[in-house]
């Protein structure tokens, strides 16, 4: 059903945090595979990916090339792009499954609410206002998109200065739903 794609470069510690939050999705059959698109790490990123059972690809070139190549190698009909270090709230599996199951229109995408570890109630309330004010999501919030829509958009574009933000811009704010579960960057250990 869902392939998770994570671009890495010397990301062993941050990758581990992200992979840990994906375990519930793998256990309930939501996550079909995880593709780690590595840019030539010199740390233990490959070992972390191997132990977790990820498809580890070393791909030369900029992040857009790595992401597009990884999307081509992914097995799922839905793609979830995550940055290493992104941690998803526990209800992410239910939210993701509902979005996929109720997306008759495959020309929509979704992102998780922007959150911070241990954020206050005020910050939590403010994070809910972003979608209402048509604030575009950031790549750190993850991007859930059908393979069909991703390919129709041409995927990540190499010539874009920031290919992840460029893809979000091309999708358009009105076609990106905000899921109730939050995504946040894990604090460095």
Q: What is the domain partition of the chain in residue ranges?
A: 2-185
**pLDDT tier, 125 (very low <50, low <70, confident <90, very high otherwise):** very low
Give the pLDDT of residue 188. Answer: 61
Strands of the sheet containing 109-114, edge to edge, are 55-58, 31-38, 2-8, 78-81, 143-146, 109-114, 176-185, 86-88
Looking at the DSSP bridge assignments, the partners of residue 36 are 6, 56
CATH fold label, 2-185: Spore Coat Polysaccharide Biosynthesis Protein SpsA; Chain A (3.90.550)
Question: Please, what's the largest Cα pairwise distance for the chain?
Answer: 43
Over the chain, what is the mean pLDDT? 89
* DSSP 8-state symbol, 39: S
Q: Are 105 and 176 contacting, i.e. CB atoms less than 8 angstroms apart? A: no
Indicate the burial class of 171 (C-beta count within 10 angstroms; 0-12, 13-18, 19 or more): buried
Q: Is the pLDDT of residue 134 over 70?
A: no
Q: Which two tokens stand for residue 10?
A: 């010397």
Q: Which two tokens stand for residue 88?
A: 């998803």
Indicate the burial class of 76 (C-beta count within 10 angstroms; 0-12, 13-18, 19 or more): buried
Give the pLDDT of residue 105. Answer: 67
Q: Which residue has the higher pLDDT, 32 or 187?
A: 32
Total-model pTM: 0.88
**pLDDT tier, 120 (very low <50, low <70, confident <90, very high otherwise):** very low
Closest by CA to 115, choosing from 95, 96, 132, 130, is: 130
Q: Is the pLDDT of residue 89 over 80?
A: yes
């Amino acid at each position: 059903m869902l392939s998770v794609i994570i671009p890495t470069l010397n990301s062993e510690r941050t990758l581990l945090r992200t992979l840990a939050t994906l375990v519930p999705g793998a256990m309930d059959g939501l996550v079909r595979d995880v593709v780690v698109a590595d840019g030539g790490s010199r740390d233990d990123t490959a070992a972390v990916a191997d132990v977790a059972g990820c498809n580890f690809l070393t791909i030369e070139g900029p992040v857009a090339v790595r992401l597009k190549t990884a999307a081509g190698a992914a097995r799922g009909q839905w793609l979830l792009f995550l940055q290493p270090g992104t941690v998803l709230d526990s209800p992410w599996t239910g939210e993701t499954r509902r979005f996929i199951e109720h997306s008759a229109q495959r020309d929509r995408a979704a992102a998780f609410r922007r959150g911070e570890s241990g954020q206050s109630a005020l910050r939590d309330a403010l994070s809910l206002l972003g979608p209402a004010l048509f604030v575009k999501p950031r790549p750190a919030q993850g991007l859930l998109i059908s393979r069909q829509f991703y390919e129709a958009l041409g995927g990540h574009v190499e010539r874009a200065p920031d290919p992840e933000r460029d893809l979000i811009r091309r999708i358009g704010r009105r076609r990106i739903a905000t899921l109730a579960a939050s995504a946040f960057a894990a604090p460095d250990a």
